[in-house]
Structure 1
Amino acid sequence: MEQPTTPPVPPGVPDPAAVGPDQALAGCRVLLTAKRRATELGTALQRRGAEIVHAPVLSIVPHADDEQLLAQTRALIADPPDVVVATTGVGFRGWLEAADAAGVHAELLAVLRRARLIARGPKAQGAIHGAGLVADWVAQSETAAEIKELFEAEGVAGLHVGVQHHGSGADGIDELLVALGARVTPLVVYRWGPPPDPEAVRRGVRLVADAGVDAVVFTAAPGAVEFLAAAERAGLRDAVIAALAGPVLPATVGPVTAAPLVEAGLTPLIPDRFRMGALVRELTAALTGRGVVEVGTPGGVLRLKRSWASLDGRVLPLSRVQFDVLAALVRAAGRVVTREDILALLPGTSADPHAAEVAIARLRDSLGNRAVVTTVPRRGYRLDLAS
């Protein structure tokens, strides 16, 4: 006799054999708009059961290949600064790596040792210390605003200030320094370029507009700006804004990244600590239970979310068709779902009246409890709800 087989698990649904102890995001689909650190962020969310969709909206010009950065670095070495501002840890390390590749690492370190070093937060401070240098002042809030307040309070007229920027460098520090009378040498360690896969961005915009994801994660302000611009080009800006204000949660790594979304009238999730780990934890907390339908049955609590379902805490190995049939039974809330309604959910089988019976039988096998779905003779089927 042929042995019964387990229905295939659809994409995005955790395999019951591989489910870990923490599956709070099972059934959630999250769109990532960044390329840098996307693997790290995606892996952390996948460990919690999320399905990840990648749609990087910008590419990054590598620091070692950036002639503009190297030219500015050589200019800084030739005209040593009084003050150097490190805005990010990864950017500061990348700057030193670029200098090393260009053969001016020792000269740059000598210049930095003589300058007053300002760090925008502990990460930048750690990168400075990792290079064998000492940060003279650290912005505990990790914001450019605190650095601006320092310069306004102390005054920088006549000083030469080098500012290591991240990405577009649009943080207002250079402009303030110039207004205060300083000479500024900007050092943009990496620059933004066009998306590596424009079609992936278009698909991502459409998914958000259709509420086909539960959250969109932004890790840089230019990425948020470009995502909204891509929505505009696709004629979907209004639909995207409406989705991000409703069923789709916009999440950011910090207030600077959130600013373009706030300007668009949105209220994105911003973690209290501007760290990737804090973003993952707060996003998990925000999405847990969001959009979940929960009902009591004789087999335990049945939970549905998107294309994922669990019964009594056990992830169910449902095919797409099985999930659709189960969702129809849940929506009926204990009322009868007719055979005709079941047949309408089955691809290419509407002419076979027995196909509904087969579909229900397979669903019961996957549920592992035949009492959950009750047959109503000559009418159809219904979900047996626990009183």
Structure 2
Amino acid sequence: MVEGLVEGTAEDAGARTGSLAGFRIGVTAARKNEEQVALLERRGAEVVLAPALSSDPNRVDEAQLRPATEAVIANPPHMFLATTGVGMRAWIEQAQQWGLDEALVRALRPAEILARGPKAVGALRAVGLRELWSPQSELFEDVLDHLRGRDLTGKRIVVQEHGQSLSMVAHALRRQGADVTVVTVYRTVTAEDPTPMFALVDRIADLELDAVTFTSAPAVAALMDAATSVGRRDDVVSAFQADVVAVCVGPVTAAAFELWGVPTIYPPDRSRMAAMIKLMESDLPSRRQGLSLELVGGHQLLMHGESVLLDGTEVKLSPAPMAVLAALVANPGNVVPRRALLAQLPSGTAGSEHAVEMAVARLRAALGTRAVQTVVKRGYRLAVEV
């Protein structure tokens, strides 16, 4: 599923001034990649296109979906988890072709409906279904957190699966006593020709790119699978943790990188391609220059190389907190996973998350306790004024 779409025009100040001139950017999108490449090139960027997925990535298996649909209609669920808008729409459209769409909606309507995000909500409401709850984060793990601790014994739960397997989600709910059915609406298919993706893997691993853009979580998985198959996964992870910026269209795509301990940047407000490119216009140039940030509380932070100034006064940091600060500054306002911070600590530092906690504590002592925020279960972020 592509998380963001093109909006706005390319004829803006960034396009006119070549705001990304001199930057080499990889693009992994399959759908609408012509628009993204055009937006980047008109800003002066050199673009390397390597679609991670098929141009028709979401393929419905009718032989599997129809009996699953009939089973839901015959035995309506107590709870329904909708994960994607494109998946819900595809399911209803297929059911309509079989003359089963009205029966499917009737079967789902009495259920407790939870939706992963606004696109799933929109698809539900389009057919007259109303969600009872949806997380602001758009993360499916927050849907599970919402259900954690509830007694689900005897509850029939239907999970609408997106392009990647949700079997572990089903297992987690079964441990709470639920009778879980996963309905696979479509499967994501990787690119027919993997050659460009293998070339992109090498360019990332060899630090030949400044950034790589991702518009879907399956694209992240496809890249990492390609890197693993050619024995360069660790090189790619290290590159993303150091010099190559993983730019995501939104938090759902960014979450796919957390498994690998890779820090990401993404637009804070809207999951849209134009917002992602605007973010790159401000973020990438700042990485080549001294970076000045407004911290929460009105403090000014300036970092240039090994020099750190807080409100004009030099701050002395030992190597571990300096490494943590560099990683946080590289992703201002965005969450950096503990694993990614651990990878940035100097060699010889104890290899555990406790070492990260100690480095963060020292950093807070130097910059103020509010400078670094803890994001429970995810990592840390620099508290910057928006």
Normalising by the smaller structure, the TM-score range is 0.5 to 0.7
CA-CA distance at 1:289 after TM superposition = 4.5
The amino acid of 1:35's aligned partner reads A
Q: What does residue range 44-193 of structure 1 map to in structure 2 within 5 Å? A: 44-46=39-41, 48-59=43-54, 62-170=58-166, 172-193=168-189
Say if 1:217 and 1:171 are closer, same or farther in 2 by CA, change over 3 A: farther
CA-CA distance at 1:39 after TM superposition = 4.7
Query: Hey, what does 1:216 align to over in structure 2?
Result: 212
Query: Hey, what does 2:7 align to over in structure 1?
Result: none
The yes-or-no answer on 1:283 pairing with 2:285 is: no
Whether the 8 Å CA contact 2:58–2:163 is kept in 1: the answer is no
CA-CA distance at 1:191 after TM superposition = 1.0
Q: Deviations over 1:256-306 (max 9, x none)?
A: 54456444343222443461344333333221354589xxxxxxxxxxxxx
CA-CA distance at 1:179 after TM superposition = 1.1
Aligned pair count reads: 277
Query: Hey, what does 1:250 align to over in structure 2?
Result: 246
Q: What does residue range 360-379 of structure 1 map to in structure 2 within 5 Å? A: none
The amino acid of 2:243's aligned partner reads P
The amino acid of 2:196's aligned partner reads A
Query: Hey, what does 1:15 align to over in structure 2?
Result: none
TM-score w.r.t. length of structure 2:
0.62
Q: Deviations over 1:187-221 (max 9, x none)?
A: 23321234221111122112223333221123344
Q: Secondary structure at the match of 1:140?
A: coil
The amino acid of 2:45's aligned partner reads A
Q: Secondary structure at the match of 1:21?
A: helix
Partners of 2:272 and 2:14 in 1: CA distance: 23
Whether the 8 Å CA contact 2:57–2:190 is kept in 1: the answer is no
Q: Secondary structure at the match of 2:77?
A: coil
Q: Deviations over 1:352-375 (max 9, x none)?
A: xxxxxxxxxxxxxxxxxxxxxxxx
Whether the 8 Å CA contact 2:26–2:48 is kept in 1: the answer is yes
CA-CA distance at 1:168 after TM superposition = 0.7
Query: Hey, what does 1:31 align to over in structure 2?
Result: 26
Whether the 8 Å CA contact 2:76–2:107 is kept in 1: the answer is yes
Q: What does residue range 14-29 of structure 1 map to in structure 2 within 5 Å? A: 20-21=15-16, 23-29=18-24
> Which blocks of at least 5 consecutive residues in structure 1 are unaligned?
1-17, 294-387
2:232 alignment partner, one of 222, 236, 253: 236
Whether the 8 Å CA contact 1:56–1:196 is kept in 2: the answer is no
Partners of 1:21 and 1:165 in 2: CA distance: 43
Say if 1:131 and 1:29 are closer, same or farther in 2 by CA, change over 3 A: farther
The amino acid of 1:229's aligned partner reads D
CA-CA distance at 1:22 after TM superposition = 5.8
The amino acid of 2:117's aligned partner reads G
Query: Hey, what does 1:383 align to over in structure 2?
Result: none
Q: Secondary structure at the match of 1:241?
A: helix
The amino acid of 1:99's aligned partner reads A
Whether the 8 Å CA contact 1:33–1:55 is kept in 2: the answer is yes
CA-CA distance at 1:249 after TM superposition = 1.0
The amino acid of 2:112's aligned partner reads R
Partners of 2:247 and 2:167 in 1: CA distance: 20
2:197 alignment partner, one of 190, 201, 226: 201
Whether the 8 Å CA contact 1:29–1:215 is kept in 2: the answer is yes
The yes-or-no answer on 1:225 pairing with 2:231 is: no
Partners of 2:182 and 2:17 in 1: CA distance: 44
Partners of 2:193 and 2:66 in 1: CA distance: 28
Q: Deviations over 1:56-109 (max 9, x none)?
A: 233365444443233322221122112211112222112212222333222212
Partners of 2:142 and 2:111 in 1: CA distance: 20
Q: Secondary structure at the match of 1:217?
A: strand
Partners of 1:130 and 1:141 in 2: CA distance: 22
Q: Secondary structure at the match of 1:56?
A: coil
Q: Secondary structure at the match of 2:283?
A: helix
Q: Secondary structure at the match of 2:212?
A: strand
Query: Hey, what does 1:326 align to over in structure 2?
Result: none
Seq. identity, %: 37
TM-score w.r.t. length of structure 1:
0.62
CA-CA distance at 1:114 after TM superposition = 2.7
Aligned Cα root-mean-square deviation (Å): 3.2
Partners of 1:109 and 1:22 in 2: CA distance: 51
Query: Hey, what does 2:346 align to over in structure 1?
Result: none
Query: Hey, what does 1:313 align to over in structure 2?
Result: none
The amino acid of 2:271's aligned partner reads R
Query: Hey, what does 2:330 align to over in structure 1?
Result: none
Whether the 8 Å CA contact 1:55–1:197 is kept in 2: the answer is no
